[in-house]
Amino acid sequence: PKTDIVFLKVHKSASSTVMNILFRFGETHNLTFAFPVGGGNQLYYPHHFLARFVQGFSPRSPQPFNILCHHMRFLQPEVQKVVSRSAVYFSILRNPVQLMESSFMYYKSTSAFSRAHSLEEFLSQPYLYYNPSSGDRHYARNLMAFDFGFNPDAEASAKRVQLMLKAIEASFDLLLISEYFDESMVLLKEMLCWDLDSVVFFPLNSRDSSTKATLSATTVEKIKDWNRLDWAIYTHFNKTFWERIDRDFGRERMQREVRALRERQAELAGICLQGMGSVAPKDIKDSSLRPLQHGSAKILGYNIKEGLDKETERMCRRLVTPELQYSSALYKKQFAHKPP
């Protein structure tokens, strides 16, 4: 199994669920995480990543960390200073249309979105609300391109798009697609040589459907146009995702593996969860399992069955612990002996 991993956690793309998978694997195998200095949950985002943002990094005696997975703005030469040369790099993408709808709800208080009453209103005259020089502008335009380290306001010329795609291809071994999350997990498991239970998941940080907006065809086109760089990234890597499945896997084997993943998931839901699924934040009984609520989105969570034996309870709890709580528990564990 591969243990040296860089995951570029792209915002609003099911990346919290992926992070839970990495946290569980790292904890089980006693791996070290490249935590932000002081134990926050972002590596000085939205600044480009620098090695010195990592707790315990020292340029004089650089010791590689196993897993780098907290929010960062990608800058590979700096990333290479904190992980081993053989690290596997992967990230996850989401259709920019849904991504922007989610971003608008989640980051409603940012400068670009706060004065617009609706996403439609914002898109009708984006430059009325959007200021290319404001520090939080990236939440409102080409958020994926920004997370990969590019300028979200760059002109989407054919040449620039080609260079951007080539740069991403050169840096990353695999790009997952959040709309095909199960297939993504199968590819990830294969690439990392992990077992099925390592990639089993319950969706984390997902919104209650009551806070999701339905978009008109006109709005969809406007979103694609406004996020041209993101649209180029998504369409290109969605295509190569399926090419990879056809080349390395075949659709039939992929279907079999996805079925096995879903069966195992259903089995674990039966063992672990009260009521088999996610619940509204107000219905989460254990406050330590309540995810952070942000913007006007309602973030769902889980209740674990009572009366489980210790070992099972620990496994179930790991599967449903929200990102911030899990991250801070692992941070405390990693730095227990040496106070930061």
Among 119, 91, 97, residue whose Cα is nearest residue 231: 97
| Domains of the chain, earliest start first | 5-335 (3.40.50)
Structure-token match 């090419």, residue found: 243
The answer on pLDDT for 152 being more than 60 is yes
96-106 vs 228-248: helix axis angle to the nearest 10? 130
Least confident of 48-52, 57-61, 168-172, 216-220: 57-61
Cα 182 to Cα 266: distance, rounded to the nearest angstrom? 13
Q: What are phi and psi of 97, to 5 degrees?
A: -70, -55
pLDDT (mean) for 162-175: 98
The pLDDT value given to residue 295: 67
Cα 326 to Cα 328: distance, rounded to the nearest angstrom? 6
Which burial class, exposed, middle or buried, applies to 58 when counting CB atoms under 10 A from its CB (0-12, 13-18, 19+)? exposed
pTM of the complete model: 0.95
The pLDDT value given to residue 206: 80
The pLDDT value given to residue 338: 61
Cα 166 to Cα 161: distance, rounded to the nearest angstrom? 9
Cα 114 to Cα 118: distance, rounded to the nearest angstrom? 10
Least confident of 155-164, 290-299, 312-321: 290-299
Cα 320 to Cα 301: distance, rounded to the nearest angstrom? 7
Structure-token match 């590689």, residue found: 64
Cα 155 to Cα 305: distance, rounded to the nearest angstrom? 52
Residues in the chain: 340
For the stretch 246-304, pLDDT in tens is 999 999 999 999 999 999 999 999 999 998 689 988 999 998 999 888 766 788 999 99
The 3-class SS string of the chain reads: CCCCEEEECCCCCCHHHHHHHHHHHHHHCCCCECCEHHHCCECCCCCECCHHHECCCCCCCCCCECEECCECECCHHHHCCCECCCCEEEEEECCHHHHHHHHHHHCCCCCCCCCCCCHHHHHHCHHHHCCCCCCCHHHHCCHHHHHCCCCCCCCCCHHHHHHHHHHHHHHCCEEEEHHHHHHHHHHHHHHHCCCHHHHCCCCCCCECHHHCCCCCHHHHHHHHHHCHHHHHHHHHHHHHHHHHHHHHCCHHHHHHHHHHHHHHHHHHHHHHEHHHCCECHHHCCCHHHCCCCCCCCCECECCECCCCCHHHHHHHHHHHCCHHHHHHHHHHHHCCCCCC
5-8 and 67-68 as β-strands: parallel, antiparallel, unpaired?
parallel
Q: Cβ–Cβ contacts within 10 Å for residue 309, how many?
A: 7
For the stretch 32-78, pLDDT in tens is 999 999 998 999 999 999 999 999 999 998 889 999 999 999 999 99
Reading the block at residue 145, the tokens are 């391109």
pLDDT (mean) for 91-99: 97
pLDDT (mean) for 145-153: 98
